[in-house]
């Protein structure tokens, strides 16, 4: 009979119908009966408990949001229940009702008298039925669904009481202190950590004005205890048999604690003076680094590495949101610097080499890998990107707080050496691409699949370059030519030349300006900040940029391919493949091939060695045409920028990008052109000169494609890369101006347009020379 009453109550609460009977009736109806076993009789318990086969029964540390249905999704099933249920189902329905009623009591969409009724019911449950103690008792249930629902209901109840009575629930606080202080002997540690994390999440979802006070009341009594627990759990013996499985109780405790640390990290921005438990991850990051290099299960290592990534990105992401006045607080800068120092210290001690990136794959419930999958070869690219970004951001923070070049130069070269070697051994290979790559290409190879991380990494390296350049200029007013050449060589050897990085990226997107426009419009990346900084640098280092472009073109001149394909249309077309950077060279001395012995300070990001065990800084191959085609297929444009009503009038008729799949498959010359990496714009390039000629009128006959080779006397090289890169920026400027005129651009692009206009003027001055 009770189940039918609960069903009716659930229907009324879900529909927002006022509860007609007195509050005592409803409080007794949803009051938990935990004196009897939670599963009732043995047969009923066995019937509904999740299977524990395969070691997944006791894994409580993972997020069960995908396993436990959302409250709204349960409406149909609960409304149609029959009356033949064991006490376990009754208890699950009671827990669901508690969670639902707490949410409705806080909803402004509900009528005032209905919310007041719900509040009266929960006051009775707390004072008379001791519902909080019963929920705490259920946290230790072996039934993980009951334990999860009890944890969620308890979290909502504790926060509800904190808001209504401005006091922390005594029973929950006492339970949390006992569990944390009693580690490792205490039980229900994972449940305690999960409940605390859930309470903090509910706090962060509240109105901004109420967050700071609630966080202080919740965390102040636990501050010192959480720091002690941090020391205890992260200094545990992780080589013991307790951590052999990710489903063991010890692993469950550690996973739950990592989730709590993530919420504590997110909550520190709400307080002007963060608590010690909110800073401990920064101040004692060495504990986390030691755990990552231990023999714990790979899934825990990955969670910790991704948590470190959130730490190093914390300030930049929150800066972008601009939602707190406490971002420039001394404590945050101090914490970032402390984390950076420790990270760079362990990286220089070959810490990266102790981290395997070939962890056991998830087979989605199966015990066998998918056909064709080789777990011995594949590296976890997500972790590779995260580790690379942690090192780069640590270098950025460290260099930002250095007063002289001597303070950081040695650490920087050593850290970049370790990072480049680490990436070389784990970068995802392609069946069509040559494994040897240029030093500065590593960033686009590692980060190309993750836009937001890629631009964070590019911005970090750009800031490092700018700071080093400023420190050099401050140290000496006039640098000798030898010092300049040495500086340029080290910048290339360490893989952070900003011009190379930008050109390699443009090459990967086939110089498609609409991809850049997508990044500028998107709020998910820091591309706008990066591009503004880079264009300012480009205005100062235009000649260096031209030199780098010439080095790219030098790589093309060794193949001498000739393209004589007429495009199928008369409009201007761009046929760009991934090999257009094949054998690119970015050395400091363009005329003399340079050989360097491998050293710790100057790593060679290649895999070739001669008989004398010296590695030559060769002209490495890049991606092939097949690679580029597959990459371009994955670049989905967010907006069709030429689809507005007057685009026909303003468009210059150019095709942004030609899909290679649309070209005739039986055209042998076209296939040869694509395979050799020749890029062509028939109407834009004059093969008789080394300069960019103005585009021909629309009716002009098309000519054969330009020949990919340098001039015989080597005095005026073809400026292919310079033309294509500046043309891409000009197209971007035109697209932004067009959107601005139609009031379609999401922000004021005037400063950006001014920088792009300056680049256009410098490009045209090169054409006139």
pLDDT band at 528 (very low <50, low <70, confident <90, very high): very high
Q: What is the pLDDT of residue 480?
A: 79
More confident residue, 47 or 523: 523
Q: What is the pLDDT of residue 224?
A: 95
Return the SS3 of 463.
Answer: helix
Residue 719 has pLDDT above 90, yes or no: no
Closest CA to 140 of 46, 249, 22, 50: 249
State which H helix or E strand residue 368 sits in.
none
Dihedral angle sign, alpha carbons of residues 238, 241, 242, 245: positive
The residues with which 685 forms a beta bridge, in sequence order, are 692
User: pLDDT of 335-351, one tens digit each?
Assistant: 999 999 999 999 999 89
The tokens of 318 are what?
A: 């929150």
- Distance, in Å, from the CA atom of 698 to the CA atom of 127, rounded to the nearest integer, reads 84
User: pLDDT of 552-572, one tens digit each?
Assistant: 888 644 333 323 333 333 333
User: CB-based contacts of 232: which residues, under 8 Å, 6+ apart?
Assistant: 183, 184
More confident residue, 666 or 93: 93
Phi and psi angles of residue 222, each rounded to the nearest 5 degrees, phi first: -105, 0
- Distance, in Å, from the CA atom of 166 to the CA atom of 458, rounded to the nearest integer, reads 47
Return the SS3 of 692.
Answer: strand
Largest CA distance in the chain: 99
Phi and psi angles of residue 685, each rounded to the nearest 5 degrees, phi first: -120, 135
Residue 4 has pLDDT above 70, yes or no: yes
Round the average pLDDT of the chain to a whole number and report it: 74
Mean pLDDT (whole number) for 307-327: 69
Q: What is the pLDDT of residue 87?
A: 85
Q: What is the pLDDT of residue 666?
A: 39
What's the burial of 589, exposed, middle or buried (CB within 10 Å: 0-12/13-18/19+)?
exposed
Give the number of other Cβ atoms within 10 Å of residue 190's Cβ: 26
pLDDT band at 239 (very low <50, low <70, confident <90, very high): low
What's the burial of 668, exposed, middle or buried (CB within 10 Å: 0-12/13-18/19+)?
exposed
State which H helix or E strand residue 317 sits in.
helix 298-321
Alpha-carbon dihedral 696, 702, 707, 708, rounded to 10 degrees: 70
Residue 26 has pLDDT above 50, yes or no: yes
State which H helix or E strand residue 10 sits in.
helix 2-15
Q: What is the pLDDT of residue 194?
A: 96
Q: What is the pLDDT of residue 208?
A: 84
Residue 516 and residue 610 in contact, taking contact as beta carbons nearer than 8 Å: no
Q: What is the pLDDT of residue 274?
A: 92
What's the burial of 658, exposed, middle or buried (CB within 10 Å: 0-12/13-18/19+)?
middle
Query: Which percentage of the chain shows pLDDT scores above 70?
Result: 65
Residues in the chain: 769
- Distance, in Å, from the CA atom of 8 to the CA atom of 31, rounded to the nearest integer, reads 16
Out of 35-44, 79-88, 119-128, 463-472, pick the least confident: 35-44
CA atoms within 13 A on the CB side of 479: 16
Closest CA to 285 of 263, 260, 266, 312: 312
User: CB-based contacts of 271: which residues, under 8 Å, 6+ apart?
Assistant: 212, 215, 216, 278, 326
Q: What is the pLDDT of residue 548?
A: 92
Residue 259 has pLDDT above 90, yes or no: yes
Q: What is the pLDDT of residue 766?
A: 79
Dihedral angle sign, alpha carbons of residues 21, 24, 26, 28: negative
pLDDT band at 332 (very low <50, low <70, confident <90, very high): confident
Three-state SS letters, 528-583: HHHHHHHHHHHHHCHHHHHHHHHHHHHHHCCCCCCCCCCCCCCCCCCECCHHHHCC
Phi and psi angles of residue 746, each rounded to the nearest 5 degrees, phi first: -70, -10
Strands 595-596 and 615-616: antiparallel
- Distance, in Å, from the CA atom of 517 to the CA atom of 583, rounded to the nearest integer, reads 29
- Helices 144-165 and 189-204: crossing angle in degrees, nearest 10, is 50
Return the SS3 of 595.
Answer: strand
CA-to-CA separations, 289 to 339, 347, 425, in angstroms, rounded = 11, 10, 21
Mean pLDDT (whole number) for 702-731: 63
Three-state SS letters, 628-680: HHHHHHHCCCCCCCCCCCCHHHHCCCCCCCCCHHHCCCCCHHHHHHHHHCCCE
User: CB-based contacts of 392: which residues, under 8 Å, 6+ apart?
Assistant: 419, 456, 457, 460, 461
- Name the most confidently modeled range: 77-81, 207-211, 317-321, 620-624: 207-211
Residue 433 has pLDDT above 90, yes or no: no
Residue 46 has pLDDT above 80, yes or no: no
Q: Which residue in this structure is represented by tokens 């340079």?
A: 594
User: pLDDT of 184-218, one tens digit each?
Assistant: 888 899 999 999 999 999 999 988 888 999 999 99
Q: What is the pLDDT of residue 703?
A: 34
Mean pLDDT (whole number) for 94-102: 95
Phi and psi angles of residue 615, each rounded to the nearest 5 degrees, phi first: -100, 130
Spell 399-416 as b/e; 16+ CB within 10 A means b: bbbbeebeebbebbbbbb
Residue 327 and residue 315 in contact, taking contact as beta carbons nearer than 8 Å: yes
Residue 84 has pLDDT above 80, yes or no: no
More confident residue, 201 or 34: 201
Residue 16 and residue 23 in contact, taking contact as beta carbons nearer than 8 Å: no
More confident residue, 42 or 429: 429
- Distance, in Å, from the CA atom of 562 to the CA atom of 695, rounded to the nearest integer, reads 21
pTM of the model: 0.74
């Amino acid at each position: 009979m009770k189940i039918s009453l609960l069903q009716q109550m659930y229907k009324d609460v879900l529909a927002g119908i006022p509860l007609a009977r007195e509050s005592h009736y409803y409080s007794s109806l949803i009051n938990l009966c935990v004196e009897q076993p939670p599963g009732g009789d043995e047969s009923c318990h066995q019937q509904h408990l999740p299977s524990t086969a395969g070691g997944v029964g006791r894994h409580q540390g993972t997020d069960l949001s995908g396993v436990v249905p959302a409250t709204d999704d349960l409406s149909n099933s609960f409304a149609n229940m029959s009356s033949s249920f064991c006490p376990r189902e009754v208890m699950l329905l009671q827990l669901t009702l508690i969670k639902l009623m707490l949410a409705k009591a806080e909803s402004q969409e509900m009528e005032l008298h209905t919310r007041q009724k719900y509040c009266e019911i929960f006051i009775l449950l707390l004072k008379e039925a001791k519902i909080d103690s019963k929920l705490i008792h259920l946290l230790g249930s072996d039934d993980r669904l009951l334990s999860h629902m009890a944890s969620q209901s308890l979290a909502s109840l504790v926060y509800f009481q904190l808001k209504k009575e401005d006091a922390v629930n005594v029973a929950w606080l006492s339970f949390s202190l006992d569990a944390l202080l009693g580690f490792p002997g205490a039980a229900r540690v994972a449940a305690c950590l999960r409940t605390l994390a859930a309470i903090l999440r509910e706090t962060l979802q509240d109105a901004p004005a109420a967050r700071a006070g609630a966080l202080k009341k919740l965390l102040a009594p636990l501050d010192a205890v959480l720091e002690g627990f941090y020391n205890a759990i992260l200094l545990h013996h992780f080589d013991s048999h307790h951590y052999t499985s990710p489903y063991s109780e010890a692993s469950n405790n550690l996973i739950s604690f990592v989730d709590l640390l993530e919420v504590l990290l997110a909550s520190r921005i709400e307080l002007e003076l963060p608590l010690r438990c909110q800073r401990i991850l920064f101040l004692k990051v060495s504990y986390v680094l030691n755990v990552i290099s231990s023999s714990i299960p790979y899934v825990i290592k990955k969670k910790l590495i991704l948590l470190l990534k959130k730490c190093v990105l914390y300030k930049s992401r929150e800066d972008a949101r601009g939602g707190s006045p406490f971002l420039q607080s001394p404590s945050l800068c101090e914490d970032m610097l402390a984390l950076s120092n420790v990270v760079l210290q362990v990286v220089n001690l070959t810490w990266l080499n102790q981290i395997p990136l070939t962890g056991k794959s998830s087979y989605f419930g199966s015990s066998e890998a998918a056909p064709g999958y080789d777990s011995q070869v594949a590296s976890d690219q997500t972790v590779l990107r995260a580790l690379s970004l942690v090192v780069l951001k640590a270098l950025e923070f460290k260099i930002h707080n250095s007063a002289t070049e001597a303070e950081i130069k040695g650490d920087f070269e050593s850290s970049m050496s370790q990072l480049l070697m680490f990436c070389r051994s784990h970068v995802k290979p392609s069946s069509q691409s040559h494994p040897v790559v240029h030093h500065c290409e590593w960033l686009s190879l590692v980060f190309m699949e993750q836009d937001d991380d890629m631009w964070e990494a590019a911005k970090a390296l750009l800031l490092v370059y700018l700071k080093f350049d400023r420190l050099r200029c401050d140290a000496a007013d006039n640098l000798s030519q030898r010092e300049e050449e040495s500086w340029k060589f080290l910048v290339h050897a360490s893989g952070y030349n900003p011009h190379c990085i930008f050109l390699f990226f443009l090459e990967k997107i086939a110089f498609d300006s609409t991809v850049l426009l997508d990044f500028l419009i998107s709020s998910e990346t820091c591309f706008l900040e990066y591009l503004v900084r880079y264009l300012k640098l480009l205005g100062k280092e235009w000649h260096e940029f031209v030199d780098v472009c010439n080095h790219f073109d030098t790589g093309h001149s060794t193949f001498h391919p000739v393209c004589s394909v007429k495009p199928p249309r008369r409009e201007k077309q761009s046929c760009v493949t991934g090999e257009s950077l094949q054998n690119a060279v970015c050395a400091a001395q363009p005329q003399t091939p340079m050989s360097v012995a491998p050293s710790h300070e100057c790593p060679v990001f290649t895999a070739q060695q001669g008989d004398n065990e010296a590695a030559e800084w060769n002209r490495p191959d890049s991606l092939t045409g097949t690679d580029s085609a597959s990459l371009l297929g994955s670049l989905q444009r967010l907006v069709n920028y030429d689809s507005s009503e007057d685009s026909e009038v303003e468009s210059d008729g150019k095709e942004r990008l030609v899909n290679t799949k649309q070209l005739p498959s039986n055209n042998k010359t076209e296939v040869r052109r694509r395979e050799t990496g020749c890029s062509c714009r028939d109407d834009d390039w004059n093969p008789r000169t080394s300069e960019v000629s103005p585009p021909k009128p629309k009716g002009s006959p098309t000519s054969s494609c330009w020949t990919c080779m340098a001039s015989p006397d080597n005095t005026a090289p073809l400026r292919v890369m310079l033309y294509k890169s500046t043309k891409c920026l000009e197209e971007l400027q035109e697209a932004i101006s067009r959107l601005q005129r139609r009031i379609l651009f999401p922000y004021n692009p005037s400063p950006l347009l001014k920088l792009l206009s300056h680049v256009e003027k410098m490009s045209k001055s090169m054409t006139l020379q």
